[in-house]
Structure formats: C-alpha cells, structure tokens
C-alpha cells in the first residue's frame, strides 16, 4: 500500500514538472535512473571510506608502505607529523601519488624538507603539474627532480618559478641543459637574479651559447651574489692574474665559482710558496685549485721530496709532478711507492700515511652537522 502511494506521488510530481519543462519520457526515466545510481554509488563510497580511512598519521604512513624504520626517520626529522590531521595529510599523499612517488621518495623528501607536508602543495597543483611535465618531458625525470628538490612543488608558481624558467630560456639555457641544471642545482629557482654586472661577467668569459660550458657559466653566475663573484675574482688577482685571465678561466672551468675563497687562497699559497710554481699555471691546470690540499697536494709533494732525499727513482718533478697530482691513489702508490723493494716501500708508505694524517690547525675541533641539502 505504501509503495503504491509513493509511486502515485512521484508520478504527480513528474506530471506537474512537465507543464514547466516538458521533458520527454526518456528524459524522465534517465533522471530517475541517474538519481538512484548516484545514491547507490555514494553509499558504496561512504562504506569504503569508513573501512579504509586511517585513524591517525601513523596508520596513514603505514598504509602508504612505510616500515617502522621509515617511520622512525620521518618522525625524527619532523615530530609534528605524528600528530598531523589525517584528512589534509591524505589529500597531499593523493597529489604526490600522481607524481609516481614511492615510500623511499617520501622519506627522502621529508629528510631534506622536514616541513614539506606543512606547505600548501595543492595551490595551482594541476597547472604546476602540467607545466613541469612539459618542462621535464617525462614523469620519471620529473619524479627524480622532485625528490632532488621537493620545493618545485612549493615555489611561488606565477611570481617566481615561471619567470625564472622563462628567463633562462630567453638567455639560451633550455631543454635538456635546463633540466640538468635544475636537478644539479636545487637552489636555482629561488636564488637566480641577473643585473648588468652579472651579464658583463658572462660576456667576459667569452663562452658562446653553443658551448657545453655555457649552461654552467650562466647558472652559476645567476645564483651567485655579485659581491661574492667580485670577491672571488679579486682573490685570484692578488696572485698576479688579470681580470681577463680569470674570466677566461671561469669560462673553461666555471665550477671554480663553487669553491670558497679560503680554499682557493690556501691552494694558491701552496702552489706558489711550497711548490715554487708560477701562479699562471692554474690557468692551464685548474685541477690545482680543486684538489684537496691535506689529502692530495701536500702528501704527494712531501713524498716527492722524500724520494729526492733518498735518491730513489722514479723522481716526482717537473711535468711528472703534475701528472702525479692527478693520479688516483691506487695508481700513484703503484707508480712511486710499491715499485721499490719491500723494506723501502714500507718506509715510504708509512711516511706517506703520516703526511696524510696531518691536519690544519683547529680542523679537528670543527663540528659541522648537515641535514637535508648541503647548500
């Protein structure tokens, strides 16, 4: 009886609605079927959410595949995630899932950006994702870039990220070159700035846009403060190098801009003062500035003096010295230490190991602990 009354009421409602809208019979049945299907689907979804919805963040991370060891790393880097609300955290996990990030990637992201999940990564996410997919060309390359620099998902999209990318493309750094720089230099987007002085330095290096070094020159000058560049140039000028020679050197070996003033100064003093070489030699052999003074330059030069003192051959001098300084440890020992009789080789090896243990004054007292990106 109740079913018949319900059907009569529904029929009366449809007839009265037809006077205003005049829908066809098919449309009526289509609307009725759609409403019933939606109600059924919503009921199923609510049932699934009630069963699968995690009660807390720990359950959510475990559901995502995190082990106890992973959870320990995550909560030690960002303890507040243990008390995080599940709903917004789950929404961010779903966004990250679209990038193909796995459990290991999540742990790495939190390790280098502990407050990453506190950021509003949902802002312009679809637009940002389309832009990054076009830029990187594939989902796998984009995934590696995000793991390397999670801030790609949090930078100010319209006011910072897009203008910086457009600026580098306008300067001739685009495609695979730009992708390489974005992955190798995670601070590229927030630190980039150009002015007339920086553009003048780029011009002075003499590097053309078609050169393999061009992308390194442009990006390293772009992320460096002009005061820092001037300080590093003047540091080399103290040893008798002209600005033109230094800029030419930067064009051939732009990574010199990543070296500290202190390191370059100590290496130059050793090359000029102890090795008695011309300072202009670094223009031809830039590795003299990159080599570790305590682990490579000083021990090998002192061993060369020991060989000369003991009148042993082969001697390490002249052009042989420059080759010896570039050798791997294994090859160096084989060429100049282990080639001698066992008793002599043992004495030379002990002397060489002793020189490698010598450290600069107060170096042992330094306490440097880095977490996340070492920038």
Question: In the chain, what are the helix, strand and coil shares in percent, each to the nearest 5?
Answer: 70, 0, 30
Segment 62-98, tens digit of pLDDT:
888 888 998 999 999 989 998 888 899 989 989 998 9
pLDDT for res 123: 87
Contacts 24+ apart (CB under 8 A), 270-274: 270/297, 270/298, 270/301, 271/297, 272/239, 274/298, 274/301
Structure tokens at 341: 């009789």
Write the CB contacts of 168 (distance below 8 Å, at least 6 apart in sequence): 174, 178, 181, 192, 218, 219, 222
How far apart (Å, rounded) are the C-alpha atoms in residues 121 and 92? 7
pLDDT for res 33: 40
Element (H, E) at 232: helix 226-237
pLDDT for res 359: 67
Is residue 325 very low, low, confident or very high in pLDDT (cuts 50, 70, 90)?
very high
Return the top range by mean pLDDT from 3-12, 58-67, 190-199, 353-362.
190-199
Structure tokens at 249: 């050197």
Q: Is the pLDDT of residue 31 over 60?
A: no
pLDDT for res 9: 41
Is residue 292 very low, low, confident or very high in pLDDT (cuts 50, 70, 90)?
very high
Is residue 52 very low, low, confident or very high in pLDDT (cuts 50, 70, 90)?
low
Q: Is the pLDDT of residue 360 over 90?
A: no
């Amino acid at each position: 009886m109740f079913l018949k009354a319900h059907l009569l009421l529904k029929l009366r409602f449809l007839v009265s609605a037809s006077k205003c809208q005049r829908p066809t019979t098919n449309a009526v049945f289509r609307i009725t079927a759609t409403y019933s299907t939606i109600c059924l689907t919503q009921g199923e979804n609510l049932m699934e959410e009630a069963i699968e919805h995690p009660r807390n963040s720990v359950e959510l991370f475990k559901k995502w595949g995190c082990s106890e060891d992973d959870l320990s790393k995550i909560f030690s880097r960002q303890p507040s995630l243990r008390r995080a609300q599940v709903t917004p955290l789950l929404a961010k996990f779903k966004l990250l899932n679209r990038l193909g990030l796995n459990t290991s990637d999540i742990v790495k992201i939190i390790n280098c950006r502990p407050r990453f999940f506190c950021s509003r990564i949902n802002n312009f996410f679809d637009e940002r994702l389309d832009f990054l997919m076009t830029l990187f060309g594939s989902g796998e390359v984009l995934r590696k870039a995000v793991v390397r620099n999670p801030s790609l998902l949090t930078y100010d999209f319209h006011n910072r990220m897009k203008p910086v990318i457009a600026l580098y493309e306008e300067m001739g750094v685009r495609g695979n070159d730009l992708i390489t720089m974005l992955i190798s230099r995670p601070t590229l987007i927030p630190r980039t700035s150009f002015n007339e002085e920086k553009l003048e330095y780029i011009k002075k290096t003499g590097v053309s846009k078609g050169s393999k070094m061009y992308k390194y020159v442009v990006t390293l000058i772009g992320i460096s403060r002009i005061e820092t560049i001037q300080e590093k140039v003047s540091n080399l000028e103290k040893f008798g190098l002209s600005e033109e020679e230094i800029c030419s050197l930067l064009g051939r070996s732009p990574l010199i801009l990543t070296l500290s003033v202190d390191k370059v100064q100590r290496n130059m003093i050793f090359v000029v003062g102890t090795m008695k070489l011309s300072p202009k030699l670094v223009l031809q052999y830039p590795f003299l500035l990159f080599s570790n003074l305590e682990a490579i330059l000083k021990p090998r030069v002192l061993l060369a003096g020991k060989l000369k003192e003991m009148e042993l051959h082969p001697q390490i001098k002249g052009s042989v010295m420059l080759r010896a300084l570039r050798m791997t440890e294994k090859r160096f020992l084989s060429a100049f230490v282990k080639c001698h009789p066992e008793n002599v080789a043992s004495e030379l090896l002990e002397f060489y190991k002793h020189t490698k243990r010598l450290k600069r004054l107060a170096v042992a007292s330094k306490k440097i602990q880095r977490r996340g990106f070492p920038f």
